[in-house]
Amino acid sequence: MKPRNPLKKRAQKLRDGGYSYKMINTKLKIAKSTLSNWFKDRPFTPNKKVLQRIQYGPIKSAEQKHNKKVQEINRLREIGAKEIGALAKRDLWLLGLGLYIGEGTKSHETIRIINSDPSVIRLAIKWFKEICDLKDENITIAVHLYPDNNIKKSLKFWSGVTGLPLNNFRKTQIDMRVKKSILKRSKLPHGTAHLTIISKGDPNKGVWLYRKINGWIDGVLKQI
């Protein structure tokens, strides 16, 4: 999958071109720990410039170790995916409920899930539709951005992720807090999505659904 973070995209191009973490760090000012986290499962072959900077033996050994690690990561991911198998409706019910326990609102009788991960938001949409019996018209989305985010591109991005038309989007919020904005700069290229459910006059899809979700949560947590 192509990275949506412009800085990550540049780093990935350099990494695929055979540049070391140190050289990418020097050029883009991205921490080596961040680069390692981004590309830990991506094969690496050093280019001539890298080989000229250090002895061939150590880099060749490091390359082999890295690629062996990549193969192991991919092998275990494939095993894990096979172990999960096909999700039944009850699996989706409990999976989405676990998501709501971690990311959903628990007060003011408002049904809302907040997250910046597109995969998590897709799961939330699927759960709302298939388990909670909601329609597109019941799902609204507000995008919270930072000063360096492009509003138009971010709205288009989240519309594509959720499958919701722009008519379902509420007013975009821009976080102008200086310290937080600096910390999140380039890390959240499309901000955070806030999914909020509206009943459209049907209590079964509003307050009653909120209370039922809390009942599901109680039913699970009391058994743990």
In order of start, what are the domains of the chain with their CATH numbers? 6-84 (no CATH), 89-221 (3.30.1330)
Please measure the distance between the N-terminal and C-terminal CA atoms of the chain and give it in whole angstroms. Answer: 37
pLDDT of residue 133: 96
pLDDT, tens digit (0-9, with 9 covering 90-100), for 103-131: 999 888 999 999 999 999 999 999 999 99
pLDDT of residue 95 exceeding 60, the answer is: yes
Torsion of CA 168, 172, 173, 176, to 10 degrees: 160
pLDDT, tens digit (0-9, with 9 covering 90-100), for 167-202: 999 999 998 765 554 555 557 889 999 999 999 999
pTM of the full structure: 0.69
pLDDT of residue 1: 47
In this structure, are residues 223 and 122 in contact, taking their beta carbons and an 8 Å threshold?
no
pLDDT of residue 178: 59
- What CA–CA distance (Å, rounded) separates 43 from 64? 10
